[in-house]
Amino acid sequence: MYEKGELKKALAKGDLLRASGIVQSAPCLSGDDVASLVSEVIHSGSMIRKYTTASIAEGRNALLGALLQCIKQSEDASAVLPLAEHISQSALLEEAYAGILNLLARCDIGRRTPAEQAWAAIRYTSELAKTAIDKM
């Protein structure tokens, strides 16, 4: 079994290189343990980042490599699909987040405080919902 508590701490801190080391040092895992490990990584949210730097990419690649090696050793490929889906969804979320940041940087609301930005987003969403309901 892998060091679940240590893995959770590393993922919570965003230390993907440490997390990959924990995964690599785990003894050969069974299919259920590998599925639990992959689920732990997915649900930590650690693979989704606002900004991607070279060190973050290095950590993410190391963690993915360690996870894929663990899956391969377990000879249970059922964890590959959830991991692959999460990777593709993470990329989409990061792209969307980058688009939002880019848009905010170009408009007046981008010069407001985060609290004002959040309130404006809530008000706008509320107005959109009211408009949608009125059209029904």
Give residue 1's pLDDT: 61
- What is the C-alpha to C-alpha distance for residues 87 and 90, in angstroms, rounded to an integer? 5
- pTM for this model (two decimals): 0.67
Per residue in 22-72, pLDDT tens?
998 877 777 778 888 889 999 898 888 777 788 888 998 999 999 988 888
Give residue 19's pLDDT: 92
DSSP-based three-state secondary structure for 34? helix
| DSSP result, 41-86 | HHHHTTT--SS--HHHHHHHHHHHHHHHHHHHHHT-GGGHHHHHHH
* pLDDT(103) > 80: yes
How high is the mean pLDDT of the chain? 86
